């Protein structure tokens, strides 16, 4: 209903300043192509009228928006916050505006949001990960929309990645865990369907088991949405198993925090009775007692990098190349060698 019926237009400004609309437009977009004098007059008119150019009109005429869209699975926890903030800051310094929306981890909402952003004329898009319907990629292709995927590096994705190797990252962590002597390992993962990060982290763990000659049969993986309370519930289930796992690797820090709180609530000492690890190194992970062993992800660098790469694509200066960022394990108090309790499990090497 409401609308700028009264909002001043270019025309109003032009009339008051006694010039043509073209001149006003120039004053705003290329101030040096107009006489100092005229400009002052125009700017005055702009000021008195409180004129703000109409974005939609500008977009239609100029056919670009200087706007980048990003769709992230959630804003509720900090997983994407830091990287996204860096993404925005970098975009801003490049003269672009960021539009964010969240899909609540639901593919069909993501698809809807993609279409919305395309329709809104976003010059480019940032998506999280690669797992989505081929139809969406086809659509983006047809729209010739520059897109990058972040938080996951893939050699052969349909779009360039600015991310890290989730599988290898989890492999490294699991490798260290196994070397400590753990051989009864469980995992609390995010829902892997439609989430390559979650899926690859599970795969990474399995790789590590295999590399150490451990069977994946004895591995229990519980999948649950990324929320603290879900981590707690999953932990309760796992701790009820017999024999009890000596370590629980979590798909991210949020789940790990839940697991840790639950363990402590159950009277289990971490890491003496059970070790717990997280992933992402968000702030949560360092404020628990003990602090969580986790995997460092260069969030801010990833955000900046994604912004730069995407803008290159948008401005036609490049076809879009993937960037692989390094992660590393952060060892902290929540992980320790298993205590040989009932002397049932032979010690691993190392």
**Sole binder of a copy of itself in the list 101, 176, 220, 345 (CB under 8 A):** 101
For 8, 124, 175, 291, 350, the CA distances from 114, given in Å and listed in that order, are 32, 11, 38, 38, 49
Instruction: Output the smallest distance, CB 51 to DNA, in A.
Output: 7
Site stretch for a copy of itself (CB under 8 A), options 151-159, 207-215, 271-279, 282-290? 282-290
Helices 10-17 and 36-49: crossing angle, nearest 10°?
Answer: 120
Q: Name which of residues 39 to 78 contact DNA (CB under 7 A).
A: 39, 51-54, 57-58, 60-63
Q: Name which of residues 6 to 25 contact DNA (CB under 7 A).
A: 7, 9-11, 18-23, 25
Q: Which does 337 bind (CB under 5 to 8 A by kind): DNA, a copy of itself, none?
A: none
DSSP letters spanning 191-247: --TT-HHHHHHHHHHHHHHHHTT--GGG-EEEE--S-HHHHHHHHHHHHTSSSPPSE
Q: Which is nearer to DNA, 40 or 324 (CB)?
A: 40
For 73, 113, 182, 279, the CA distances from 296, given in Å and listed in that order, are 20, 30, 22, 7
At 150, list the tokens.
Answer: 């972040």
Q: Does 29 bind DNA (CB under 7 A)?
A: yes
Q: Does 21 bind a copy of itself (CB under 8 A)?
A: no
- Helix (H) / strand (E) containing 127: strand 124-128
**Sole binder of a copy of itself in the list 9, 12, 21, 78 (CB under 8 A):** 78
Bridge partners of 124, per DSSP, are 68
Instruction: Output the smallest distance, CB 291 to a copy of itself, in A.
Output: 10
**Sole binder of a copy of itself in the list 33, 283, 324, 350 (CB under 8 A):** 283
Instruction: Summarize as ranges the residues that interact with DNA (CB under 7 A).
Output: 4, 7, 9-11, 18-23, 25-26, 28-29, 32-35, 37-39, 51-54, 57-58, 60-63
């Amino acid at each position: 209903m409401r609308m700028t019926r009264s909002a001043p237009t270019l025309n109003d400004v032009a009339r008051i300043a006694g010039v043509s609309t073209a001149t006003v437009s120039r004053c705003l977009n290329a101030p040096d192509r107009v006489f100092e004098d005229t400009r002052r007059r125009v700017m005055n008119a702009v000021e008195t009228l409180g004129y703000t150019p109409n974005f939609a009109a500008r977009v239609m005429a100029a056919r670009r928006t200087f706007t980048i869209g990003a769709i992230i699975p959630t804003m509720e926890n900090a997983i994407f916050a830091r990287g996204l903030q860096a993404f925005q800051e970098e975009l801003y310094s490049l003269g672009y505006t960021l539009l964010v929306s969240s899909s609540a981890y639901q593919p069909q909402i993501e698809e809807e949001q993609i279409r919305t952003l395309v329709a809104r004329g976003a010059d480019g898009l940032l998506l999280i990960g690669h797992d989505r319907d081929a139809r969406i990629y086809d659509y983006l292709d047809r729209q010739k929309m520059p897109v990058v995927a972040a938080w996951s590096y893939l050699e052969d994705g349909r779009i360039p990645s600015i991310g890290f190797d989730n599988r290898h990252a989890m492999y490294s962590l699991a490798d260290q865990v196994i070397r400590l002597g753990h051989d009864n390992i469980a995992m609390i993962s995010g829902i892997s369907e439609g989430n390559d990060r979650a899926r690859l982290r599970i795969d990474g763990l399995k790789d590590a088991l295999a590399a150490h000659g451990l069977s994946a049969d004895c591995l229990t993986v519980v999948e649950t949405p990324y929320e603290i309370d879900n981590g707690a519930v999953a932990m309760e289930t796992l701790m009820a198993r017999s024999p009890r796992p000596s370590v629980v690797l979590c798909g991210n820090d949020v789940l790990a925090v839940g697991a840790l709180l639950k363990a402590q609530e159950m009277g289990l000492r971490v890491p003496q009775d059970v070790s717990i690890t997280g992933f992402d190194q968000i702030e949560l992970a360092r404020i628990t007692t003990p602090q969580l062993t986790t995997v460092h992800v260069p969030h801010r660098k990833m955000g900046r990098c994604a912004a730069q790469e995407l803008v290159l694509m948008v401005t036609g200066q490049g076809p879009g190349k993937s960037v692989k960022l390094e992660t590393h394990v952060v060892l902290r108090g929540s992980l320790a060698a298993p205590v040989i309790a009932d002397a049932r499990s032979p010690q691993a090497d190392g």
